[in-house]
Amino acid sequence: MLNQTRQTADSGSFPAPSVMLVGMPSGLPGNTGRAGQICADLSSTTRMVRPHRPKARYGDLPNFAAQRRADWWAEVPVLVSREVTLRALQPADADALVTMLGSPAVEEYLSPGPATLDEARDFIDWTHRTRQAGRYLCFGIVPSGLTELVGLFQIWPLEPSFRTAEWGFALAQPFWGTGLFVESARLVADFAFETLGTTRIEARSAAENGRGNAALRKLGAEPEALLRKCFECTGGVVRDHILWSLLDDDWRRVRPTLTA
């Protein structure tokens, strides 16, 4: 899915904002040369190649002192539908994080995540501290009927008002293609557009990540640019990324088709 290694004054390891389910239609601006080839490749296949990877650090997220306070700063809201519950990460989630993010299929396009229980606990603690600073919000994905999380959704502001935000996600491989990603994305997008006041959500996905690009496309997001060699992923591979945007107008148009 999406990947991004970000750095702050905090130190440690964490799964940076990432989508692993994110197909890319043809039609990037200036769709010629390398960009044109990538668009053509992604529109005709959802093949995923899976290498291997290094280690990352805590994300570099905006620190907006002027942001207005909101209830989510104090406590992560619980987002619920018939199929899934999205909730704050808990200390007991550490083992599930290590198992899920350590899967070769999941980690290929992500920043390196926590490899040990201690690192996972550090990351969980970091998600709470950073949320309380108004800089980041992380939801754990728990399917109905289960108690253990199977994925993450992350969202953070790119400007103080939260009008523009960026999101990333990761989902355990057994749940790919089950509809769980779309249902979780629906809850997060509704929360962003209706509660946070966001009007534009950005996402970045490795150009080779056919499944991740296809997921963003299904949500109504549009590809805006090819970002050349912009991010180091698994195994030290520096990948081209696609910049996607989902506007509130896009969401109003596509949402009914996702819930039908």
Single-letter residue type at 141: I
Structure tokens at 184: 């979780």
CB atoms within 10 A of CB 92: 12
Q: What are the phi and psi torsion angles at 178 (to 5°)?
A: -95, -10
pLDDT at residue 101, as a whole number: 81
pLDDT at residue 29, as a whole number: 31
Q: Where are the domains of the chain?
A: 33-259
pLDDT at residue 104, as a whole number: 82
Q: How do the pLDDT tens digits run along the chain, 260 residues long?
A: 443 434 333 433 334 433 333 322 222 233 334 444 444 444 443 333 333 333 333 444 444 433 444 577 788 889 999 999 999 999 999 999 999 888 888 878 777 778 899 999 999 999 999 998 888 999 999 999 999 999 999 999 998 888 999 999 999 999 998 999 999 999 999 999 999 999 999 999 988 888 999 999 999 999 999 989 877 666 677 778 999 999 999 999 999 998 64
pLDDT at residue 106, as a whole number: 82
Interatomic CA distance for residues 145 and 136, integer angstroms: 28
Q: Cα-Cα-Cα-Cα dihedral of 64, 70, 75, 79, to 10°?
A: -110
Single-letter residue type at 78: V
Return the CATH superfamily for domain 33-259: Gcn5-related N-acetyltransferase (GNAT) (3.40.630.30)
CB atoms within 10 A of CB 155: 22
If you search the block for the tokens 């790919």, which residue do you land on? Answer: 176
Contact 164, 200 (CB under 8 A): yes
